[in-house]
Structure 1
Amino acid sequence: MRGPARTDPGRLTRRTAVGGLALGLAGAAPAPRPQRVVSLNPCLDVILFHVAERGQIAALTHYARDAQASTLAKAARAIPITYETAEEVVALRPDLVLMSEHSAPATRQALARLRIPTAMFDVPQTVAASLAQIRQVARLLGQPVRGEAVVARVEAALIAAAPPPGAPRLTAIVYQPNGFAAGAGTLTDEMLRRTGFENVAARYGLGRWGNIGLEQIIADPPQVLLAGQPAPGAPTWADRVLSHPALERIADRMQREAFPQRLLYCGGPVLIETAAALATARRNVLRAA
């Protein structure tokens, strides 16, 4: 995610800023710490949850309570949510709204008209950008110490998940419902490399993101298929590719390990679970070899 421009969080005004953060006038008095913060993005939900004091969080997105989509599902039951409509957000009387370019345009426009303070973020595509984003949100919330503590936890998780020097790399792809996969230049790709895997999505013709046909996997399997898990209940057509019997027929050439879909898209504190999941997968494959 491209992080927003570096800005003093004490200079927020009631305008959405050019370059990612709300900007103020030079020399303005520091603003008080935001007390009613709303998130309009699932990845920002997680950062907000981890760096804010509980009383600062006015609402998360509805995705935060979805166990398939969020690492916060259980904790988020005790926190208000919105469906990202302008009416819901305004009713919460926020003094800061965290949002992304994927947030509903109508909501973004309404907040701008009402001059509600906002901060805009993009999606990080590297670990470094993810850590920078944690710090940026923490500064905006007046919580730099908490932000540094979260950054330290992420860095410790990355160190713990790294393979020993000189250890062989395992060829792998991350394979989600409908054959959706992550290619080179993505945050997922970097996490694979950091945890001892070689992402071979490119050999199936994949760019950064896209779908890989089941036939391609069967014809030329990687050593490890880091697969998503079908949704509970009756699986959708998109889910069924993950449980196709053809995958069982190449089990002697390709080991399947779990990589939940909720770990695919977000950086920030989610990287703690991502690193642990990938390290576990690698250990399981080496143990079975």
Structure 2
Amino acid sequence: MCLIRATPPHGITDHLGEGPLPVFARNSKRIACTIAVAICGWTSVACADVQRVVSLYPCLDTILVHVADREQIAALSYYASDPRSSTIADIAKTLPMTYGTAEEIVSLRPDLVISSQYAPQKTHEALQRLGAKIALFDVPLTLAESIAQVRELARAVNRPERGEAVVANIEAALVAAAAPPNTPPISALVFQSNGFFAGQGVLIDELLGRTGFVNVAARYQLGQFGVVTLERMIADPPQALLSGVIEAGGLTWGDRLVSHPALARVAQGMARAELPERLLLCGGPVITQTVAVLADARRRIASAAP
């Protein structure tokens, strides 16, 4: 029985049973960075012979498929195959999946189970009683934390060189997506389904800054995430509203807000650009796609400006 915690110094409350929350939808509680060494005697999240890995968390799924051998992946979480929220849906559909019950996981005979430290504790405890080795990861709030998590998970499956390759791709994408020197930043809000807007001190906030935008969430008294009313957005619009695709027939309150006809009144003063929801849920390898989309949006918005 072995439990390992690999946690950056921030936390998010999430529930596997309810689906992944937005990257920015996390509390502000700071959690000390620890690696807890259990009775197996490991001194890091690594094992000499990890042959079968089960992932229970969508963002770890994404890293795992980029750093592990296909034969090492015993199962991904069932969220990984949903193209609305996953950037690896096509790959995930060709791999085993799990709904996260302890009995199901144990039947897969994993050498290592990777999960969010905020996933249901009872599942983790049941897995430990059954002898499973579990590595629990936090959700990174910064680029540095996200890159560190990629490296940690790559070490966990004994493929550190693949972790370095992912990091190199992220760094190259950031360089390519950067705005030209002395380019005035474009004020922006990032909207995600269910009515939440990305606030400050979260990963997407940093990515906006790295791609020529400035997140104006503070102007609307948002913390790390929050709600902006339609009236407030009309009265004080940002230069750009970045949001996902609205699905017909399934409009939430938040979807209705950003598709409201009243926003057309400020169309000349507020550009709209698409930022798919699947690019907002995770960091790691997803960052390369996110910053490319943001850079493209910045160029189109700038070229359309009077």
| Superposed pair shares fold, TM > 0.5 | yes
- AA at the equivalent of 2:184: P
Q: Which runs of 5+ in 2 are unaligned?
A: 6-33
Structure 1 residues 228 and 66, CA gap change in structure 2 (3 angstroms): same
Equivalent-residue separation in structure 2 for 1:242 and 1:35 (angstroms): 46
Specify whether residues 46 and 21 from structure 1 end up closer, same or farther in structure 2 by C-alpha distance, changes over 3 A only: farther
1:218, CA displacement in angstroms?
Answer: 1.0
Alignment-derived partner of residue 151 in structure 2: 135
Partner of 2:223: 207
Q: Which residue of 1 aligns with 2:256?
A: 240
1:115 is paired with a residue whose SS is coil
**For the residues of structure 2 that align with 1:253 and 1:33, how far apart are their CA atoms?**
57
Matched, 1:15 2:2: yes
* Number of residues of Structure 1 aligned to a counterpart in Structure 2: 274
Deviations, residues 256-281 of structure 1 (Å, cap 9, x unaligned):
00111111131100101111110011
Q: Aligned pair 1:102/2:118, yes or no?
A: yes
Deviation of the 1:238 alpha carbon = 3.7
Does residue 157 (structure 1) correspond to residue 157 (structure 2)? The answer is: no
For residue 193 of structure 1, what is the aligned residue in structure 2? 209
1:53 equivalent to 2:53? Answer no
Going from structure 1 to structure 2, the CA distance change for 1:276 and 1:21 (only over 3 Å counts) comes to farther
Classify 1:35/1:201 alpha carbon distance in 2 versus 1 (closer, same or farther; 3 Å). same
Task: Note the aligned Cα RMSD (angstroms).
Answer: 1.7
Listed as ranges, the matches of 1:1-289 within 5 Å are: 14-17=1-4, 19-20=34-35, 23=38, 24-25=40-41, 31-289=47-305
Q: What code does the residue aligned with 1:283 have? A: R
Give CA deviations for 1:97-146 in whole Å, capped at 9, x if unaligned.
Answer: 11112322221111121220111100001101111110000001000111
Q: Aligned partners of 1:35 and 1:236: how far apart in 2?
A: 42
* Shift in Å, 1:247: 1.7
| TM-score, structure 2 as length reference | 0.85
Other structure's SS at 1:158 match:
helix
Structure 1 stretches lacking a partner, 5+ long? 1-13
Q: Return the offset for 1:240.
A: 2.0
Secondary structure of the residue aligned to 1:150 is helix
Per the TM alignment, residue 20 of structure 1 is displaced from its structure 2 partner at its CA by 4.3
